[in-house]
Each structure stands twice: as structure tokens, then as C-alpha cells.
Amino acid sequence: MLTIINVTTSDRFQQGIAFIICVFIALSSLLYLKRTQNFTHIYYVIAFSGCLIVFATLNGIIDILHFGNFIWQVLLVMVTFFGLGKKPGLIVSGFVIINVIYYFLFSVEQNINQVTDFGLAVRVALIIELVTAILSIAYLINQFVITHDYANKELLLANESLKNRNTIISLKNKEKITLIQEVHHRVKNNLQIIISLLRLQKNELKSDEAKKQFTEAINRVMVMASIHQKLYKDKSFTQVVPKDYFTELTNDIITLSSSFNEVEISIESEIENIGLKTIVPLGLIVNELVSNSIQHAFSKNKRGGIQILITSNETNKFKLIYKDNGSWTEPANTYSSFGLELIEILASQLEGKYERTSTVSGTEYSFNLKNLD
């Protein structure tokens, strides 16, 4: 690249050394590139060896004109940015600035005084040098423009392909959403049919105890139906907001209850969403507890109060606290009843356990459960 500069020098020894260095670098780079196809190393060699040669030429060969050296330095900076990126480009730019500053502080005056040959050969060599440097810069800019246009074209094609894929994914996603909605809707409808059949069968019964058992069974099926109803209505098809769900569930239980007692229910939850695997057994647990409280804990002349609290315990675990202010009237063998046996089974499904505490002010259930989702 810089051989033309050195050919014009009057010092044969310096000219020969500079010429040999430039030719050696060029040939070695070509051989290395042919064997490895590693352009990165070649860019590093050109950038940093070029900086050293320019520095040596500017400050070591003082009897020739150095117009072309500054254009070569611009080319070095462009080559480095183009081939190696921002950080090496900034480093080479720093070297070039140091070269320029050093030349104008320590070498420019001596260089001007030493230049005496302005013959035709010198002028032709200088023209060739400057034209070559300008054409090299123009070629590099042209390659950058070609690369930039190619990259833009590829980017447009990639964006168009990505847009088409997103359209397909969006259509498939809508199909899946519709399918999931339909599944939840059908499950809810089937459970509603079962509830209707159980209610018809209940009306045929004459035994109050049998009717009571049918009502409890209907409530349990209703819990599962209400879960699918909520999943069908909400945007999320796998997660349920526990506070909203239990508020609706307990209101339905009170409405369907045969008790005429007024019951006030307070529900708080630190967990924002619970998945389907957890909410089904958890909903059945709450259903059993609320039903039992309404049937056994609240006398006709006492206003009922129920508190439901869900707190985060640790990773993938939570705590359910259920309280009522009733006075239980069931016999001592309550723990063997079907309702509490079902609660124990459901708690074990959630890999947890519970404790029951009865006091004068009411009864409390404390569950330590695992979020299965």
C-alpha cells in the first residue's frame, strides 16, 4: 500500500528497506488468507503495520513530499472500521492522530527544508500515489455501500419472512385459544348437565338425609363447573385469580344453601394466580369448609362470619387459613365424616396437611399446601 511513497525517495537504503517490508507484508497476508480464509487477522496486520509504516515514513524519510500519507491514514481508519468494527477502529484512529500530531510538532519543518526535488518523476509518482489512495478510498466506500444495500435487502426479506411467520403463529394461536375456550365451555356444560340430572333425581327422593347428600354432591360438581366457567370467560386459560374465584364460589354456596342464616365472608389472598391443577382441589376444600360451617356452625339466631386467607409460605408452597365464628353442633366422630375425609384426601393431593383448632370464638383450619402448577 505504501510502496509508492518509498519508491520516490532519494535514499536507496531506506527505499529498499521500506519496499521489502511492504512487499513482505502483502505477500505474507495473501498466503495466510489463502490457507486460512481468516480475514480478521489480515485486517489487524494491515491496520497496525500500516500505522507503523506511516509513522516511520513521515518521521524517518524527510526528503520527500508526504501529501499521500495523510490520505493513506484515512484509508487505514476506514479499513479498520469496515473490517474489525468500532473498538479497533477507534484505536487505529488514536494512532493516526498521534502520528499527525508528532509529525507537525517534530518533523514538518525539517521535512519542508529537505524537500528539494520537484522534477517530473517526483510529480508523476506523487500523482500516482494520490490517485491510488483516492481510488482505494472510493473502492472501500463503494464496497461499504454494496454491503449496506445487501444487508438492508436481507433485513427486509427477513422482516417480511418474520412478519409472515408471526401472521401464521397468530392465526394458530387464535385457533388454539378458540379450541381451549370450546373445551372449557363443553366441560362446563357437561358438568351443568350432571348437576341438572342430580337435581332431578333429588326431587324424586323422599328422605331428607338423602336430599342433603345429593345437595352436597351437587355443590361439589358445581365447584368444578364454576372453575371451567371462569377459565372460559377469562383471558387466561390456565390461571385463576383466587380471590375473585372464591368470592364467586362462596356466594354461590350461600345462595344454594337451605340455611336462612346471614353469612358474611371475608377473602384475602397474597397469591395473584393459581393454576388449574391446584385450584380444583383447593376449590373443593373451600366448598367443604363453607358448607360445613353453614350447616353445622351457625345457629339460626347468630350472624355467621367466615374468613379465608391465602398467604405465600415459600417457593411453590402456600398457606390456607379458614376461620368461622360458629359453635359447632356435630357429634364427636366428625373426623370420620365424609366431608372431612374428603378434605384430608384433597389436602394430600396438594402434598400438604392441615390442623383444626376449635375455641369458644369459633373454629380454625390451617393448611400448608403445595402449588402444583
Half-sphere exposure of 108 (CA within 13 A, CB side): 10
Q: Which residue has the higher pLDDT, 98 or 38?
A: 98
Residue 13's pLDDT is what? 58
Q: Is the pLDDT of residue 54 over 80?
A: yes
pLDDT tens string 70-79: 888 898 899 8
Q: Is the pLDDT of residue 162 over 50?
A: yes
Which residue is listed with cell 518533523? 107
Residue 258's pLDDT is what? 61
Average pLDDT rounded to a whole number, residues 341-351: 88
Residue 336's pLDDT is what? 44
Residue 10's pLDDT is what? 42
Q: Is the pTM of this model over 0.85?
A: no
Asked which of 11-20, 118-127, 346-355 is least confident by mean pLDDT, the reply is 11-20
**H or E segment to which residue 123 belongs:** helix 120-204
Residue 92's pLDDT is what? 92
CA pair distance 366, 323, nearest whole angstrom: 9
Q: Identify the CATH homologous superfamily for domain 238-373.
A: Histidine kinase-like ATPase, C-terminal domain (3.30.565.10)
Q: Under a CB-based contact definition with an 8 Å cutoff, are residues 236 and 273 in contact?
A: yes
C-alpha dihedral (52, 55, 57, 58), degrees to nearest 10 = 170
The alpha carbon of 265 is separated from its chain's Cα centroid by a whole number of angstroms, namely: 40
Q: Is the pLDDT of residue 93 over 90?
A: yes
Judged on CB neighbours under 10 Å (0-12, 13-18, 19+), 223 is buried
Of 209, 364, 363, the C-alpha closest to 297 is 363
Backbone phi, psi, residue 108, to 5°: -65, -40
Q: How confident is the model at residue 97 (pLDDT cuts 50, 70, 90)?
A: very high
Cell of 215: 345437595
In the chain, where are the structural domains located?
Answer: 3-117, 238-373
Backbone phi, psi, residue 370, to 5°: -110, 135
CA pair distance 293, 300, nearest whole angstrom: 13
Residue 98's pLDDT is what? 92
**91-127: b or e for each residue (b if 16 or more CB lie within 10 Å)?**
ebbebbeebbeebeeebbeebeeeeeeeeeeeeebbe
Q: Is the pLDDT of residue 111 over 70?
A: yes
CA pair distance 178, 13, nearest whole angstrom: 85
Cell of 159: 422482516
Residue 372's pLDDT is what? 81
Cell of 186: 363443553
Q: How confident is the model at residue 333 (pLDDT cuts 50, 70, 90)?
A: very low
C-alpha dihedral (285, 291, 296, 299), degrees to nearest 10 = 130
CA pair distance 363, 292, nearest whole angstrom: 11
pLDDT tens string 277-326: 888 889 889 988 888 888 777 765 567 889 999 998 777 889 999 998 87
